[in-house]
Amino acid sequence: MTQPSQHLPGFELPLHRSLCEPILLGGAPRSVAILNGTAAAVVGLGLQLWLPGLALWLAGQAMAVWGARADPQFMEVFARHLKYPPLLDL
């Protein structure tokens, strides 16, 4: 007796990894990396505070990469968390 095939002929479709994976810049979600870089550029270039701007960028990028390693969609989850009021607070 033969095993039934898991793939039906004519019903296979290639799925590229880029369609399933989140868009990351330097290991951080794209929106967070852009916001972080813009804030660091404002501090570094606009206020001419080069070292605090660099420190802000490094700390923000490190935290974003850490969060993305735990959950690549952590920003969407955090935004949803802020949107809904706490229901079980006394």
What residue ranges do the domains of the chain occupy?
26-72
Confidence label for 5 from pLDDT (cuts 50, 70 and 90) = low
Q: Of the ranges 8-17, 20-29, 55-64, 69-78, which one carries the lowest mean pLDDT score? A: 8-17
pLDDT score for 89: 66
Q: Distance of CA 41 to CAs 28, 30, 71, Å?
A: 17, 16, 27
| Predicted pLDDT of residue 43 | 95
> Average pLDDT, whole number, for the chain?
87
Query: Given pLDDT bands bounded at 50, 70 and 90, which one contains residue 42?
Result: very high
